[in-house]
Amino acid sequence: MSQASLNVNSEAASAEKVSGPWRDAWKAFRRNKTAMLGLGIIVFFILIALLAPFIAPYDYKEQVLMDRLKAPSAAHWFGTDDLGRDMFTRILYGARISLWVGFFSVIGSIIVGTLLGVLAGYYGRWIDMLISRLFDILLAFPSILLAIAIVAILGPSLQNALYAIAIVNIPTYGRLVRAKVLSLKSEEYITAARAIGMKNTRILLTHILPNSLTPIIVQGTLGIATAIIEAAALGFLGLGAQPPEPEWGKMLSDSRQFIQKAPWTVVFPGLSIMLTVLGFNLMGDGLRDVLDPRMKN
């Protein structure tokens, strides 16, 4: 008897565990093959980034001038660059830079964008006017051009490239959050919360922000893809990472003069950028289908 009731209890407990919006979303996500492929690619590159010091066969700064522009071989899987540095090692360490820039620039854009979006959407009136116009102005520039302008002011470095990318993408999240807040504001449960005397900050923190989370997660995942491409573009133009940092975009521009003699120096960094970006795009698309089907298209 007691055994049976125990079983029933544990069954009920596991049933409770199985339901819930995040768990449902994960189940749906797992069924989406392309999204899972994207997740796989991302996990692969994260592992590479984390384990780079342990799996890299050489030092990414180590120059062996005897081994300049060597084709891929057993000793150098992806060949060597014009300074005799091992390309495979540099690609591994490059994953750290790209993921770092992609992730943190998006976090920065999300924090500032959310703050501005909430202020604009919740308080409305002149605050909304001011912030919305600011977004319009920032969006009036092609993003890479605005990023170039910001780096031209701050000076070329990886750090400044990260700031530039973060600033450029603020309006994307700001507008998203503003629209979400506007639509939530007129919901009955918000009116109810206000009627029982809840303070604005508490309504924002406990009701509005958690409910704005899903579009931000979707957009953020896709945003990492954009940020990685933008960082690589700035690096390629010499406005991002500086030597000897093994940044993929910078590696491309350093090697492009050897493209005919040593195509591997150009093929592998570009392929790495493309795959990483593809991973985030696939996962972002999948997340959108699962978390926010209305956002499709």
Binding site for other proteins (CB under 8 A): 34, 133-134, 136-137, 140-146, 148-149, 152-155, 225, 229, 232-233, 236-239, 249, 252, 256, 259-260, 263, 266-267, 269-270, 273-274, 277-278, 281-282, 296-297
Please say which residue, 57 or 263, places its beta carbon nearer to other proteins. 263
Residues constituting the chain: 297
Instruction: Kindly give, in sequence order, each residue whose CB lies less than 8 Å from that of residue 82, ignoring residues fewer than 6 positions away.
Output: 68, 69, 254, 255, 258, 262, 265
Q: How far apart are alpha carbons 208 and 95 in whole angstroms?
A: 35
Smallest distance, other proteins to C-beta of residue 258, A: 11
Please say which residue, 206 or 257, places its beta carbon nearer to other proteins. 257
Please say which residue, 6 or 259, places its beta carbon nearer to other proteins. 259
Smallest distance, other proteins to C-beta of residue 85, A: 19
Closest C-alpha to 205, from 195, 193, 217: 193
Please say which residue, 156 or 213, places its beta carbon nearer to other proteins. 156
Work out the number of other CB atoms within 10 angstroms of the CB of residue 230: 25
Greatest distance between any 2 Cα atoms in the chain: 80
Smallest distance, other proteins to C-beta of residue 153, A: 5
Q: How far apart are alpha carbons 282 and 280 in whole angstroms?
A: 6
Question: What is each CA distance from 230 to 58, 145, 156, 235, 283, in whole angstroms?
Answer: 28, 10, 14, 8, 19
Please say which residue, 34 or 159, places its beta carbon nearer to other proteins. 34
Q: Which helix (H) or strand (E) holds 19?
A: none
Q: How far apart are alpha carbons 297 and 289 in whole angstroms?
A: 10
How is residue 1 written in tokens?
């008897």
Smallest distance, other proteins to C-beta of residue 195, A: 28
Please say which residue, 176 or 203, places its beta carbon nearer to other proteins. 176
Please say which residue, 129 or 205, places its beta carbon nearer to other proteins. 129
Q: How far apart are alpha carbons 53 and 58 in whole angstroms?
A: 9
Q: Which helix (H) or strand (E) holds 287?
A: helix 264-291
Please say which residue, 193 or 287, places its beta carbon nearer to other proteins. 287
Q: At 42, which amino acid appears?
A: I
SS3 1: coil
How is residue 294 written in tokens?
């209305």
Smallest distance, other proteins to C-beta of residue 227, A: 12
Smallest distance, other proteins to C-beta of residue 97, A: 15
Smallest distance, other proteins to C-beta of residue 277, A: 4
Smallest distance, other proteins to C-beta of residue 22, A: 26
